[in-house]
Structure 1
Amino acid sequence: MLENTALTPQEVAEMLKVAKNTVYELIKRGELNGYKVGKKIRVDLKDVENYKNKTKNNKTIQSIPIKNDSLPSTNIFSQQDSGNVNNFIICGQDVLLDILSRYIELYSPNIRTFRSYVGSYNGLLALYLGKIQVATAHLWDGDSGQYNIPFVRRLVPGIPTIIIHLACRMQGFYVAKGNPKKIQGWEDLKRHDINIINREKGCGTRILLDEHLRLLNIDGKSIKGYNKECFSHLAVASTVARGGANLALGNEKTSLQVKNIDFIPLQKERYELVIKKEDLDKSPFKTIISILRSDEFKSELLGIGGYDLTETGNIIAEL
């Protein structure tokens, strides 16, 4: 069964957005169940999900700081921290944000940058509640065909905001190598011989899928595997590669990291940063814009691949 899928420590690290050594430490402390297969450590997918559920706090959005294992373990979403410009919290899941965080601390060493790996929907909600300084979004509205602007208006009401472009990425289907099911596009989700692995509610990829299902008048519950969720592009791609599903939705960059899958491009998405307008002239935010527009930052992303940086650093909208 899918929940018994065995993961390597590296795959677990990718899912939790932490270093591989942190995974070993969690297993050593008994916080995450692991077992040996010969000399190799393996962790069942269900145990990773159980670990995440145990560490969730229903009152706040959780985050995993990755910059330094010695960072304080206190709740970084406390109201006191959110008002302290030296504790800077960025929501989002793309590695681009890890690189941005490193640049911020390089050019503004007095600022401690924290990363929270939550989806676009919850990130905008946290911005509205004043618990973070920067949200990111790749939320597609099927009625208007627009990215992010309609959702920012609805989820951050009454607060003037600025949307700054980060990058464009290609979203599409992960399928088994050779595409044995001959999957071509969204219409294939109507087929009864297809089973999928889904992303978690609130992330931009899940909302993209649900919007297309709505427009095609497809009930998600009619799709095999619709209610089975993973928390990263890598996790769903790995599931398809191991035969746990015929199809998953994710970005092209991740498909290049996983063996035995093909990528079917479907839609270019806009990945963008959202801040409060009142913060635009404050030092950390000006630093972010300068970094995004710098050749050094763009060159590093070009080296990784998978990003269209044509508009990076441009202010897209003032709402």
Structure 2
Amino acid sequence: MEKNHSYTTEEVANILKVSKLTVYDLVKKGLLPAYRVGRQMRIDPSDLEEYIKRSKGELQPSSSQSLSKETTSGAQGYSQVRQLIISGQDISLDILANYLEKSSKRFRPLRSYVGSLESLISMYQGYSDIVSTHLIEGISGEYNVPYISKILVNFQYIVIHLLTRKAGFYVKKGNPLNIKHWEDLRRKDIKIVNREKGSGARVLLDESLRKYRIPISEINGYNNEVTNHVSVASAVAKGDADVGVGIEKAADLVKDVDFIPLVNERYDLVILKNDENRELISQVLQILRSDNFKNDLKALGGYDLSQTGQVVYEN
């Protein structure tokens, strides 16, 4: 291992042949020391090497094993500072992480940039503390709760509305192929770029195809996958595809792309209801309902915040 730089979570995941969520879990449990640069977590090669040797039984756990560099440098024990994993891809979650860190010395948020279904599964497995989801049930048009209730079986949880945003098609500037509706994706002259399985955009596409009884075998480019909204918009701008599904905000970041709105999607947060999370839920509700937080999101544009902070569902 190289000694002259620190590793990102993605690099550590590749070295250990595990998911990034597993790396976050090792850090949360104090098994792998880490520190943060901005919102990004970094791990020193020496600490990773020590963890690997401990896993092989070559080293006994050190007395500092349960402390991250961040908590040690602050002279606070690991038990006093809780590392939080906030999972999802919208920039609003980065802002929420900043507010959480400022609001309480007890929380140290870390960000995991994965899709809605994977986020919910990570919560079921105990890897994530706050997850975001924008999953539509195509026939009913209901967002999120149908999926959450199926995945978080036998858990108690609260669903809090974060924001509403527009989702639809990215098309080439001027929309030369006149793409306006899901039915247009059947056309042989249209090639799509798709999102990865488990993302909200992928679920939106699949549920819309199901609703309009369009077989995926008729969709040119269905298996061409990228992993975020900007990559979808960029593929359309470069001419690698004619259309892709995503949110309006990403279209503002990419030149030579127009956005065709199709749905107003609900973007909600999920937190498990237990004794450990009682303070966390209270802090999140207080932040979401504050004028300062809402004003920061308003400054970004493109969000409907009229229901931000409302409890959608709890059990």
* Conserved 8 A contact 1:56-1:62: no
Matches within 5 A, 1:195-274: 195-274=191-270
Q: Any gaps of 5 or more consecutive residues in structure 2?
A: 25-35, 49-65, 68-77
Please say if 1:61 is aligned against 2:21: yes
What CA distance in whole angstroms lies between the structure 2 residues aligned with 1:86 and 1:96?
21
Which secondary structure state, in structure 2, belongs to the residue aligned with residue 151 of structure 1? helix
Match of 1:160 in 2: 156
Residue in 2 aligned with 1:307? 303
AA at the equivalent of 1:166: L
Aligned residue number for residue 89 of structure 1: 85
> Taking structure 1 as reference, are residues 188 and 251 closer, same or farther at Cα in structure 2, changes over 3 Å only?
same
Residue of structure 1 equivalent to 2:132: 136
What is aligned with 2:177?
Answer: 181
Post-superposition offset of 1:61: 3.1
Matched to 1:253, the amino acid is K
Task: Tell me how far apart the structure 2 counterparts of residues 198 and 56 of structure 1 sit (CA, whole Å).
Answer: 29
Call closer, same or farther: CA 1:174–1:103 in 2, change over 3 Å.
same
Change (3 A) 1:217 1:70: closer
Q: Give the superposition deviation at 1:185.
A: 1.0
Shift of 1:316: 0.7
Q: Secondary structure at the match of 1:136?
A: strand
SS of aligned partner of 2:106: coil
Cα shift readout 1:259-284 (whole Å, capped 9, x = no counterpart): 10111000000000001122586222
Q: Secondary structure at the match of 1:192?
A: coil
Residue of structure 1 equivalent to 2:114: 118
Counterpart-to-counterpart distance in 1, 2:92 and 2:16: 25
Measure how far apart 1:314 and its partner are. Answer: 0.6
Alignment deviations for residues 174-228 of structure 1 (CA, whole Å, 9 cap, x no partner): 0000101011111111111110111110011100100111122222233121111
Relative to 1, partners in 2 of residues 1:102 and 1:60: Cα closer, same or farther, differing over 3 Å?
Answer: closer
1:9 is aligned to none
Cα offsets for 1:243-302 (capped at 9, x unmatched): 110001000111111110111000000000001122586222211111100000000100
Output the TM-score relative to the length of structure 2: 0.78
In the alignment, what sits opposite 1:18? none
The CA distance in 2 between the partners of 1:220 and 1:52, in whole Å, is 36
Instruction: Return closer, same or farther for 1:167/1:280 CA change in 2, 3 Å cut-off.
Output: farther
Return the alpha-carbon distance in structure 1 between the equivalents of residues 41 and 180 of structure 2: 47
2:168 to 162, 165, 172: 172
Distance 1:280 1:191, change over 3 A: farther
Partner SS state of residue 173, structure 1: strand
Q: Shift in Å at residue 172 of structure 1? A: 0.6
Give the distance between the partners of 2:240 and 2:109, measured in 1 at CA.
37
Q: Higher Cα Rg: structure 1 or 2? A: 2
Contact residue 279 and residue 285 of structure 1 kept, 8 A: no
Offset, 1:317:
0.6
CA-based RMSD of the aligned residues comes to 2.9
**Structure 1 unaligned spans of 5+:** 1-27, 33-49
Give the match for residue 72 of structure 2. none
TM-score normalised by structure 1 residue count: 0.77
Taking the aligned partners of 2:192 and 2:11, their CA distance within structure 1 comes to 23
Give how far 1:63 is off: 7.0
Q: 1:176–1:240: 8 Å Cα contact kept in structure 2?
A: yes
Tell me which amino acid in the other structure corresponds to 2:313: A
Percent identity over the alignment is 42
The CA deviation at 1:143 is 2.7
Residue in structure 2 matched with residue 151 of structure 1 by the alignment: 147
SS of alignment partner, residue 21 of structure 2: coil
Distance 2:42 2:184 in 1: 46
> What is the CA–CA distance in structure 2 between the aligned matches of 1:118 and 1:268, rounded to whole Å?
21
* Counterpart contact for 2:39–2:111, Cα < 8 Å: no
